[in-house]
Structure 1
Amino acid sequence: MGRIDLHTHTLLSDGELTPTELASRAVELDHDTLAITDHVGLSNLANVTEQTVEAAEKITEHMEIEVIPGVELSYVPISLIPKLTENARDLGAKLILVHGETIVEPVPPGTNIAALKCEGVDILAHPGLLSLEEAEIAEKTGTYLELTSRDGHSLTNGRIAKLANQTEAKLVVNTDAHGPDDLITSSEAEAIALGSGVDGDILREVLEDNPNSILEGCR
Structure 2
Amino acid sequence: MIDLHTHTLFSDGELIPSELARRAKEIGYSAIAFTDHADFSNMEFIIKNLLKVVGGLEKYFGLYVFAGVEITHVPPELVADAVKKAYSLGAEIVVVHGESPVEPVKKGTNKAAIEADCDVLAHPGLIEEEDAKLAAKNGVYLEISARSGHSFTNGHVYKMAKKHAAKCVLNTDTHSPHNLIDDQFAKVVLMGAGMDENEVKKTLFNAEELLERLLKRRYDEKNR
TM-score category (smaller protein): over 0.9
User: Does 2:92 match 1:85?
Assistant: no
Aligned equivalents of 2:33, 2:14: Cα separation in 1? 16
Tell me which of 105, 112, 132 is aligned to 1:107.
Answer: 105
Partner of 1:123: 120
When normalised by structure 1's length, the TM-score is: 0.95
Aligned equivalents of 1:211, 1:61: Cα separation in 2? 21
Partner of 1:59: 57
What's the Cα RMSD here? 1.0
Amino acid at match of 1:67: V
User: Does 2:195 match 1:198?
Assistant: yes
Aligned equivalents of 2:126, 2:80: Cα separation in 1? 23
Partner of 2:213: 217
Amino acid at match of 1:114: A
User: Does 2:184 match 1:187?
Assistant: yes
Unaligned 5+ segments in structure 2 are 216-224
Aligned equivalents of 2:79, 2:28: Cα separation in 1? 34
1:181-219 CA distance string (max 9 Å, x none): 000001111111111012432221201x21121112212
Tell me which of 10, 13, 25 is aligned to 2:11.
Answer: 13
Describe the SS at the equivalent of 1:54: coil
Amino acid at match of 1:170: K
Tell me which of 159, 165, 171 is aligned to 2:156.
Answer: 159
Deviation at 1:163, TM superposition (A): 1.1
Deviation at 1:33, TM superposition (A): 0.5
Deviation at 1:61, TM superposition (A): 2.2
Q: In the alignment, is the contact (CA less than 8 A) between 2:80 and 2:115 conserved in 1? A: no
When normalised by structure 2's length, the TM-score is: 0.93
Unaligned 5+ segments in structure 1 are none
Amino acid at match of 2:27: L
Partner of 2:28: 30
